[in-house]
């Protein structure tokens, strides 16, 4: 198990053309074929989200408006990273526990995923994740 201190960041081009325009394409920026896109907005700032790992799905999370704190654990202990630049995403590989906290009222997350939705791909129990991460 890797004792990774930080997760890989993915920096997208940011073009200023009377607005900011960023784009992501495979394989130039995203290291997998994108099978699903979803976004999260109007999240209650008091409530965390995530609290799970995926068995197979790989994801890149962008915070395209305001900021969010991402807590992650690759199997050793929890670490955190602040996502606050709209063109910088974080690669959440399979088997990485992640939680998102400190949402602002207008935080918007955009997530690109390598697989279609499947509840069976989730590990939602932290103790179970720690057990599986060891093997």
Comparison of 40 and 91: residue with beta carbon closer to ligand TYD: 40
Residues in contact with ligand TYD by the rule CB under 6 A:
36, 38, 40, 49-50, 117
Q: Kindly tell me which of 36 and 131 has the beta carbon lying closer to ligand TYD.
A: 36
Min. distance of Cβ 2 from ligand TYD in angstroms? 23
**Sign of dihedral through CA atoms 29, 32, 37, 41?**
negative
Distance separating alpha carbons of residues 133 and 135, to the nearest angstrom: 6
Cβ nearer to ligand TYD, comparing 40 with 133: 40
- The dihedral sign for the CA sequence 59, 62, 68, 70: positive
H/E run at residue 131: helix 126-134
Catalytic: 52?
yes
Catalytic annotation, residues:
52
């Amino acid at each position: 198990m890797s004792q990774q201190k930080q997760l890989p960041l993915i920096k997208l081009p940011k073009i200023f053309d009377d607005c900011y325009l960023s784009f992501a394409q495979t394989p130039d920026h995203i290291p997998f074929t994108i099978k699903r896109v979803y976004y999260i907005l109007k999240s209650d700032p008091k409530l965390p989200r995530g609290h799970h790992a995926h068995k197979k799905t790989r994801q890149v999370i962008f915070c395209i408006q305001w900021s969010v704190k991402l807590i992650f654990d690759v199997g050793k202990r929890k670490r955190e990273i602040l996502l606050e630049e709209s063109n910088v995403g974080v690669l959440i590989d399979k088997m990485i526990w992640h939680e998102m906290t400190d949402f602002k009222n207008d935080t918007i997350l955009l997530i690109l995923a390598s697989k279609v939705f499947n509840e069976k791909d989730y590990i939602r129990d932290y103790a179970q994740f720690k057990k599986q991460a060891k093997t």
